Amino acid sequence: MDMNGKTVLITGASRGIGAEAARVFAAAGANVALLARGQREIADLAGEIGDKAIAIPCNVSSFREVSAAVETTVNAFGGLDVLINNAGIIEPISHLSEADTEAWGDVIDVNLKGVFYGMRAAVPVMKAGGGGSVLTISSGAANGPVEAWSHYCASKAAVNMLTRCLDKEEAESGIRAIGLSPGTVATQMQREIKSSGINPVSQLDWDVHIPADWPARALLWMCSPAADTWCGQEISLRDEDIRRKVGLI
């Protein structure tokens, strides 16, 4: 997928899938705007990538900050073609009956409101430019309950519906809304899950998790017409046919 002349905004770009997506899209020729709360990490990554990258400190749970980040991106690169809603948290992992209510709400603020804020800020810009792709990291937790993940499951289920709503409302305006359920990925989040010791996911061996560049490469493929069939839906990297289409097997 040739991304020369295209601009991609990535939330949660300081590590894991977000950082790998930045590298993959930049290698394909795209300009990349790196958003995260970890200022030093995104500054280092922007330095690694070079002139095609800018680092924008941003807390996605604040619409003001997300809106300002979109404006900064457009001012820097002249437009916005792809939004990757990647920022997400899972801590604190706890049973619903024992959950800290404020911390539970913080996960909703990042995982759900952060995705809505990204869509709300980016979609009008994309429509004005003739269209664009809104790609959102989902999870198998969007479709099935997991012990001690009530906040995460609820947020991912809601995000799945946001993707479907965006497709219904804006597909005719050239907006391609697609979710990506990557499966378990070898990132810091998986380390947090493992350290919790709760539910079967925490018991998985580390070597069963896929590398972060797999979903990053899938996201690049999702920008191509080959993925149009999945607009308004979720793509699962557990599907061997999808892995084959992406070029992972």
Burial of 225 (0-12, 13-18, 19+ CB in 10 A): exposed
Which of the residues 149, 152, 221, 230 is marked catalytic? 152
Neighbour-count burial for 10-41, b at 16+ CB within 10 Å, e otherwise: bbbbbbbbbbbbbbbbbebebbbbbbbbbeeb
Give the integer Cα–Cα distance in Å for 137 and 18.
10
Is the peptide bond between 92 and the residue preceding it cis, with omega within 30 degrees of 0?
yes
- Known active-site residue 152: yes
Q: Which residues contact 213 (CB under 8 A, 6 or more apart)?
A: 20, 23, 24
* DSSP code per residue over 88-119: ---PSP--GGG--HHHHHHHHIIIIIHHHHHH
Catalytic positions: 152
